[in-house]
Chain A
Amino acid sequence: SQQGEEDPQALSIQEGENATMNCSYKTSINNLQWYRQNSGRGLVHLILIRSNEREKHSGRLRVTLDTSKKSSSLLITASRAADTASYFCATEYYTGANSKLTFGKGITLSVRP
Chain B
Amino acid sequence: NAGVTQTPKFRVLKTGQSMTLLCAQDMNHEYMYWYRQDPGMGLRLIHYSVGEGTTAKGEVPDGYNVSRLKKQNFLLGLESAAPSQTSVYFCASSILAGLAKNIQYFGAGTRLSVL
The chain A residues found within 8 Å of chain B, CB to CB, are 3, 30-31, 33, 40-45, 48, 50, 88, 92, 94, 98-106
Contact = CB atoms under 8 A, between A and B. Distances in A.
Contact of A99 (B45, B100, B105, B106): B100
Contacts of A50: 99
A45 B103 CA distance: 7
A95 to B, nearest CB: 9
A45 B102 CA distance: 10
A2 to B, nearest CB: 11
Contact of A45 (B41, B90, B105): B105
Contact of B42 (A41, A48, A99, A106): A106
Interface string B72-110: 000000000000000000101000100111111111110
A31 B42 contact: no
B96 A42 contact: no
Interface of B: 4, 35, 40-43, 45, 50, 90, 92, 96, 99-109
B109 to A, nearest CB: 6
A44 B106 contact: yes
A83 B43 CA distance: 21
Nearest to B91: A42
B79 to A, nearest CB: 25
Given A3-B42, A42-B107, A105-B42, A48 B50 contact: no
A83 B81 CA distance: 36
A89 B31 CA distance: 20
Contacts of A40: 108-109
B103 A88 contact: no
Contacts of A33: 103
A10 B36 CA distance: 21
A88 B44 CA distance: 13
B101 A103 contact: no
A45 B100 contact: no
B109 A88 contact: no
Contacts of B40: 105
